[in-house]
Amino acid sequence: MAFHSYGHSFSFSILFCMFAMVTSQLTSSCYESTCPQALSIIRSSVISAVAKEHRMGASLLRLHFHDCFVNGCDASVLLDDTSSFTGEKSAGANVNSLRGFEVIDDIKTKVEAVCPGVVSCADIVAVAARDSVVALGGPSWNVGLGRRDSTTASKDAATKDIPSPLMDLSALISAFANKGFNTKEMVALAGAHTTGLARCQLFRGRVYNETSIESNFATSLKSNCPSTGGDTNLSPLDVTTSVLFDNAYFKNLINQKGLLHSDQQLFSGGSTDSQVTTYSNDPSAFYADFASAMVKMGNLSPLTGKSGQIRTNCHKVN
């Protein structure tokens, strides 16, 4: 009887997951019977990786963002170049910058060992981003599952679609609107910069040329980011709590301590000032809005049904 009950549940879960894929509707229960160990494997691997190197949490979160903003959440960002396409890794926003590939590879290897050909690389990236935020003290959210992996990638698309840290507010609003996000959601997603590091070459212009920066903060940054050289020197995006996922990022903006030009643009006398103020005073509001925006981002143009494939190796097409 118990065996029959399990079989019924197994069949129902598979059908539900297949239905979700065909209708482009992701579901958090997709792998409950087809690969019940998947989510726990991802979670434990992320916790271990973040404990080993705190920065990895921010890197895995960014990997998901850079994947979804380029032709949808399809793990195209993981593909190595081939003779038929130049992938996204060499795009300006990604080259010598995106990290965490080895963590995704480790997770994929472990998941393939227990349920081969079932869990997509795209789903692993999406869940790892959520688990990273939780590991750093941030909010959780239900990750829809059932994505499939792309069979191609585009450096040009990555170059065009990923917002630049040099953008003014109007350009940021447009870049996110192009992906279906309103201004409030953009500000919430920008809060991901409450954790992680950025290279000197990305904020040098702000430190040496802009006036909307707190003087002591600018001085401290100049010691690590000279006017010439030191391009790869790193500074925290959130000078207050550089690792934790909290709302200090928004407090920093109010105090003119945004590291990147695009960060400080969110509090510069424009339309987003009030939202920044809200989040600086109310971490629960930020957490709720960030989680909601991440769910929306994870639903950007997923490959479903017979589109794409479940890659065995996340770096290359089967």
Length of the chain: 318
Q: Check if the beta carbon of residue 249 is closer than 8 Å to that of residue 241.
A: no
Q: Given pLDDT bands bounded at 50, 70 and 90, which one contains residue 305?
A: confident
Would 43 be classed as within a structural domain?
yes
- CATH number (domain holding residue 69): 1.10.520.10
Would 208 be classed as within a structural domain?
yes
User: Mean of the pLDDT values across residues 250-259?
Assistant: 98
Residue 80's domain comprises 37-162
**Predicted pLDDT at 12:** 47
| 229 and 267 both lie in a single domain | yes
Q: pTM of the prediction?
A: 0.93
pLDDT score of 9 more than 60: no
Tokens of 169: 């507010």
Picking from 162, 178, 206, the residue at the C-terminal end of a domain is: 162
Would 308 be classed as within a structural domain?
no
Q: Given pLDDT bands bounded at 50, 70 and 90, which one contains residue 8?
A: very low
Picking from 162, 177, 199, the residue at the C-terminal end of a domain is: 162
| 288 and 173 both lie in a single domain | yes
pLDDT score of 162 more than 50: yes
| 203 and 288 both lie in a single domain | yes
Would 259 be classed as within a structural domain?
yes
> Annotated binding residues, as ranges?
67, 70, 72, 74, 76, 88, 163, 193-194, 238, 241, 246
Mean pLDDT of the chain: 93
Q: Considering only residues 304 and 38, tell me which one the structure prediction assigns the higher pLDDT.
A: 38
| 186 and 151 both lie in a single domain | no
Would 267 be classed as within a structural domain?
yes
Picking from 108, 139, 162, the residue at the C-terminal end of a domain is: 162
Q: How are beta strands 197-199 and 234-236 bridged, if at all?
A: antiparallel
Would 17 be classed as within a structural domain?
no
| 158 and 191 both lie in a single domain | no
| 247 and 220 both lie in a single domain | yes
Question: How confident is the model over 46-58, as pLDDT tens digits?
Answer: 999 999 999 999 9
User: Mean of the pLDDT values across residues 185-209?
Assistant: 97
User: Mean of the pLDDT values across residues 72-101?
Assistant: 94
Rounded alpha-carbon distances, angstroms, from residue 36 to 94, 137, 146, 291, 295: 33, 25, 14, 24, 21
**Predicted pLDDT at 17:** 62
| 178 and 104 both lie in a single domain | no
> Annotated binding residues for Ca(2+), as ranges?
67, 70, 72, 74, 76, 88, 194, 238, 241, 246
Q: Given pLDDT bands bounded at 50, 70 and 90, which one contains residue 3?
A: very low
User: Mean of the pLDDT values across residues 126-141?
Assistant: 98
pLDDT score of 20 more than 70: no
| 179 and 106 both lie in a single domain | no
> CA 267, CA 256: separation in Å to the nearest integer?
8
Would 304 be classed as within a structural domain?
no
Catalytic site residues? 66
> Annotated binding residues for substrate, as ranges?
163
> Annotated binding residues for heme b, as ranges?
193
Nearest residue to 299 (alpha-carbon basis) of 47, 104, 74 = 74
Would 7 be classed as within a structural domain?
no
Q: Residues 6 or more apart from 186 whose CB is under 8 A from it? A: 172, 173, 176, 272
- CATH number (domain holding residue 191): 1.10.420.10
Q: Provide the domain count of the chain.
A: 2
**Predicted pLDDT at 16:** 52
**Predicted pLDDT at 259:** 98
> Among 15-29, 85-99, 267-281, which range has the highest average pLDDT?
267-281
